[in-house]
Amino acid sequence: MAHKPIPLALLIPLDAALLAGSLLSFAYFHHVRKRVTKPDENLLEYIEHLNQNSQGDNTIPIEEVTGTTTEPESGTEQTTGNTETTTSAADSTGSTTTAGTGNGTEASSGGNTQSPSSGNQTSPTTDTKKTTTTTTTTTGPQYDRSGFGAKWPTLFSLGNEVETTATSYRSHNIYINITEQNYAGSKCHIADIYLRSTDCFKYAFAQDGDPNTYANGLVTGLQENIVKMCERTNAVLAINGDFMGGRQYGYVIRDGYPWRTEPWGDVAALYTDGVVEIFSKDEFNVYSAFDRGIKHSFAFGPALVRNGAVQSGFTAKHLTGKEPRSGFGYYEPGHYCFVAVDGRDMGGSAGVTADEFAQFMRSIGCYNAFGLDGGKTSQLVFMGNFVNLPDGYNGKPTSVRGQSDIFYIGEAN
C-alpha cells in the first residue's frame, strides 16, 4: 500500500526541527560539554626521570643579600655598616696604635709594640693616657642583586615595601609600568614588565580554585571572568591566554607540567631561566623543551617577531582583518611585556592586522613576540581594573567574555 506524502505545511516544521536539533547537538559537543585532555604518560615518565637525575633546578633563587659590599649604582649606592676606629696613644717611653679590622685581628705599629706571643716580655711601667675615637659612617641603600636584580637593582624596592600608582607597580620582585601609544589608527596598551625571577610569571585556568577540577586532566569548556580570576590569584597584572579551553589541540604547558601536547601551530616557550624562544610546529620538540627547562608554552600565535625579525605575510582571515589583539613580548631574560590593542571601534580604535601588530611589537623593541587570542578575548587587567577597552565592555567586569586561561604577574610565594 502506497504511503501518502507528508503535507508541505507539516514537512517544513519537521525539517526545521531536525536542523535545529543538529545545530544544538553540534553546539553542545563542541562548545558546552566539558572535555578532558589527559597528559601524555610517556612524557610524564620522562619528566620524572629528568627531575630525579637533575643536579639542580634552573630557577634563579630569590634571596636577600646580606653582609655584602656592592659597587655604587650610578653614584647613589654605598656600602652599609658602621666603621669603628680605636686609637691608643702612649707617652714618650713608647707608642702603640691599634686599629680594628672587623675580622677579629689587630694591626699594630710603633717601636715598642710587644707581640702577644712574646712570653717573658713586660709592658712599660709608666702611666699612659688612652683616647678612644669612634667614627660612624652613614650609608646609602644596598640593593638586592639576586636573580635578575643583578641587571636592574634600582628598579626593585629595597625591602618588602610595595609602591603603586594608577599605571605602575614596584616591589622587591616586580616592576611594571603601563603606557599607551597610537599605532595604525588604534590605541595600544603596553605593560612593561621586569621580574627578579620567573617565579613571578604565573598562569591560571578558569575555575581552578577548586583543586579537584583539573585533577585528572585538562578540562576544556570552562570559563571565568578575568577580574574574578585576578582576585582569587592576587594577580598584579593579567592578560588573556590561548583560550585553550575552546579547542583540544595546541601545547598547554604550565609551570613545567604538560597538560596537553597536541601539535598545532607556532609555539613560544618561556624557560625557567627567563629566556623565550619561538618555534614553528615542525621545529618544536617537547622532549627537548623539557630538557631545556620549559616553564610555560604559548600556543595561540602566530609568531610576530622572531630573533629580532618581524614576521609578515599572514594570509588567514582572522589575521588579515583589523581586530583587537593581545600579545606577549620578550626583550631579554627578566624583561617582558604584555600588549593589548583596542579595536572594533572601542574608544575609537580600528584594531590592527597581524602584520601591523608584528611591526608594532618590533617597534617597541621586542626581540621575540607572540600573538595571544584576540577579538572579544583580548583583555588586559592591572590591579583589578581593565587597562584596555575589550569588545563589548560597558564599564562592568561582567560585560566581557569569560576566559579559559590567563597569564599573570604576581608575587613569588
Residues 6+ apart with CB under 8 A from 273: 58, 59, 60, 198, 293, 333
* pTM summary value: 0.74
What pLDDT, in 10s, does the model give residues 332-358? 999 999 999 999 999 999 999 999 999
Q: What is the pLDDT of residues 62-105, one digit of tens each?
A: 333 333 333 333 333 433 334 333 333 334 334 333 333 334 33
Alpha-carbon span 169 to 128, nearest angstrom: 61
- Residue 409, burial from CB neighbour count under 10 angstroms (0-12, 13-18, 19+): buried
- Give pLDDT tens digits for 248-273: 899 999 999 999 999 999 999 999 99
User: Coil, helix or strand for 410?
Assistant: coil
What does the domain layout of the chain look like in residue ranges?
25-54+163-409
Contact at 8 Å (CB) between 274 and 289? no
